[in-house]
């Protein structure tokens, strides 16, 4: 396993397994067990995914010692504010059946996210959380938060893939000592991702798949990746990305694919914001 060192000295795997949209308990437990047996050590869940219990069950049954695993979860919007966030941290610990969580993030920058962050800071000091950070924070809100909290965010998890490379956001995260983590590294298949001719051509040079090329590109740009698949063979393939290095010419080719806009949503879209802040868990 390859690691990146967070700003507090904690080591985080460079590749992990995400469980977004695997709400069925039995299926989620099986997928997490498969991922851990393949070699994944970072498992990424969230309160809003409704599968923290399943992740906890799998971790308990996997046979790998807890200190060798890196578990991430996220606080949802409805738990905004200090008191609600504090209770939700304890609720996540209970659901995950753990004494500590390796990384906890604010899932979205809405409601009283300062209150959430202060609750995470205190939980960090109490040893309940080993690292804290944010998710989906655009550069403006990320900079604002960074200037007015005691503990600098260790991670910012944002949509990142070949069509939305987040170059400016990455530059800012690097400046503030925050690790860039990608959700949706395959763009969830949008824009016919898995048939992209440029990625396919590059992959043929290394005897690698389009998915492997896309992950390798992000890793070589110092971005942590958390690909998701419910298929064991694809989990293995996604994990097998450390035995080759993309040449500079191929990196440049993929860099040119950046369209610099989200394929999913915008926080500047009022209809999206209204919809997401009314999403209950």
Q: What is the pLDDT of residues 76-125, one digit of tens each?
A: 999 999 999 999 999 999 999 999 999 999 999 999 999 999 999 999 99
For residue 175, the 8-state DSSP code is H
Total-model pTM: 0.96
**pLDDT at residue 129, as a whole number:** 98
Does 118 appear as a known binding residue?
Answer: no
pLDDT mean over 156-174:
98
pLDDT mean over 141-158:
98
pLDDT mean over 52-58:
97
* Active-site residue set: 49
**pLDDT at residue 68, as a whole number:** 98
Helix (H) or strand (E) holding 249: helix 248-255
Span 180-221, pLDDT tens digits? 999 999 999 999 999 999 999 999 999 999 999 999 999 999
Count up the domains in the chain and report the number.
Answer: 1
What percentage of the chain reaches a pLDDT higher than 90?
97
**pLDDT at residue 23, as a whole number:** 83
- Using the predicted structure, report yes or no on whether residue 225 has a pLDDT greater than 90: yes
In terms of residue numbers, what domain contains 24?
3-277
pLDDT bracket for residue 281 (50, 70, 90): confident
**pLDDT at residue 8, as a whole number:** 98
pLDDT mean over 56-66:
96
Contact 205, 244 (CB under 8 A): no
What is the number of other CB atoms lying within 10 angstroms of the CB of residue 38?
A: 16
CATH assignment at residue 150: 3.20.20.100
- Using the predicted structure, report yes or no on whether residue 278 has a pLDDT greater than 90: no
Contacts for 12 with CB less than 8 Å, ≥ 6 apart = 3, 4, 5, 6, 42, 70, 102, 103, 131, 155, 179, 224
**pLDDT at residue 279, as a whole number:** 86
pLDDT mean over 159-171:
98
Q: DSSP letters of 54-122?
A: HHHHHHHHS-S-GGG-EEEEEE-GGG-SHHHHHHHHHHHHHHHT-S-BSEEEESSS-SSHHHHHHHHHH
Helix (H) or strand (E) holding 143: helix 139-147
């Amino acid at each position: 396993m390859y690691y990146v060192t967070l700003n507090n000295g904690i080591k985080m795997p460079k590749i992990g397994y995400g469980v977004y949209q695997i709400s069925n308990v039995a299926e989620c437990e099986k997928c997490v067990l498969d991922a851990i047996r393949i070699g994944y050590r970072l498992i990424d869940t969230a309160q809003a995914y409704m599968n923290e219990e399943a992740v906890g069950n799998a971790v308990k049954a996997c046979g790998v010692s807890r200190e060798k695993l890196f578990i991430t979860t996220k606080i949802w919007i409805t738990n905004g504010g200090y008191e609600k966030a504090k209770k939700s941290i304890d609720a996540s610990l209970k659901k995950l059946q753990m004494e500590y969580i390796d990384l906890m993030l604010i899932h979205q920058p809405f409601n009283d996210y300062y209150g959430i962050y202060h609750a995470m800071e205190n939980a960090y000091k109490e040893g309940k959380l080993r690292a804290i950070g944010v998710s989906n924070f655009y550069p403006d809100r990320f900079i604002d938060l960074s200037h007015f909290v005691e503990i600098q965010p260790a991670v910012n998890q944002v949509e990142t893939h070949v069509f939305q490379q987040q170059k400016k956001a990455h530059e800012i995260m690097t400046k503030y000592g925050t690790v860039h983590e990608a959700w949706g590294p395959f763009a969830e298949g949008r824009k016919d991702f898995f048939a992209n001719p440029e990625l396919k051509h590059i992959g043929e040079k290394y005897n690698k798949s389009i998915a492997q090329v896309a992950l390798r590109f992000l890793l070589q740009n110092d971005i942590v990746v958390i690909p998701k698949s419910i298929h064991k063979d694809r989990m293995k393939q996604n994990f097998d990305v450390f035995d080759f290095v993309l040449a500079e010419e191929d990196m440049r080719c993929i860099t040119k694919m950046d369209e610099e806009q989200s394929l999913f949503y915008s926080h500047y879209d009022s209809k999206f914001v209204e919809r997401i802040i009314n999403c209950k868990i």
